[in-house]
Amino acid sequence: MLNELLCRNITLPENVATPPPPPPKPGQSARERLEEHTLTPACMGCHGKINPIGFSLEGYNQVGQQVTIDELGQPVNDMSDLMLGDSTVDGPIKGARELGDRILRSDSGRTCMIQQVQRFALGREEVAEDTCSFVAMAQKFEASGYNVRDLLLDVVTQDTFRFQFVP
């Protein structure tokens, strides 16, 4: 989600051995186990950003079905506290819906959406020459009230899309 919805690349640190999580303790939930495992400073650089997003998705199982009870029979804890360094996203959230709303309202989420739509339409990552069309798309997207349909129409009417060289 960080990579695709907020365009924040998280890469594994080089030369750092990542130990496997210890076996669960009796009565310990998967969330508690992960929280404990990632408390080490070597892990928190990435997990401090990854875990809050994952924790907000605790209300869904592996196949996307909504759940209200965790593996221990306790109510699901999908409270989280995002700390991504973006005041439009950061702060306490409850659940996936609030996470999605926060990303949609955030400058970084909207900018990333434009970037991802442009990359998909052009079939490549952006280059310096795409800056003007990107800025124009961002201005039109804002003027439309962040209407995704308008964004999709705009990207395919941009000169960078219409006149791209296809071998």
Interval 4-56: pLDDT, tens: 888 888 877 777 777 777 788 898 888 888 888 888 777 887 888 889 999 99
Please tell me whether residues 68 and 118 are part of one structural domain.
Answer: no
Distance CA 123, CA 143 (A): 26
Residue pLDDT, tens place only, 115-148: 999 999 999 998 998 899 899 999 999 999 999 9
Distance CA 99, CA 102 (A): 5
Distance CA 118, CA 116 (A): 5
- For residue 44, give every residue at least 6 positions away whose Cβ sits within 8 Å of its Cβ, in sequence order, or none: 38
Please tell me whether residues 79 and 93 are part of one structural domain.
Answer: yes
Domain end position, chosen among 80, 105, 130: 105
Please tell me whether residues 71 and 20 are part of one structural domain.
Answer: yes
Neighbours of 74 (CB within 10 A): 10
Please tell me whether residues 77 and 97 are part of one structural domain.
Answer: yes
Range of the domain at 116: 107-162
Whether the pLDDT of residue 166 is over 80: the answer is no
What pLDDT sits at residue 48? 84
For the chain, what is the domain count?
Answer: 2
What pLDDT sits at residue 138? 94
Domain end position, chosen among 105, 122, 141: 105
Whether the pLDDT of residue 89 is over 90: the answer is no
Instruction: Classify residue 12 as exposed, middle or buried by CB count within 10 Å of its CB (0-12, 13-18, 19+).
Output: exposed
The percentage of the chain sitting over the pLDDT mark of 70, rounded to a whole number, equals 98
Residue 167 lies in a domain: no
Residue 149 lies in a domain: yes
Whether the pLDDT of residue 165 is over 80: the answer is no
Please tell me whether residues 38 and 7 are part of one structural domain.
Answer: yes
Per-chain mean pLDDT for the chain = 88
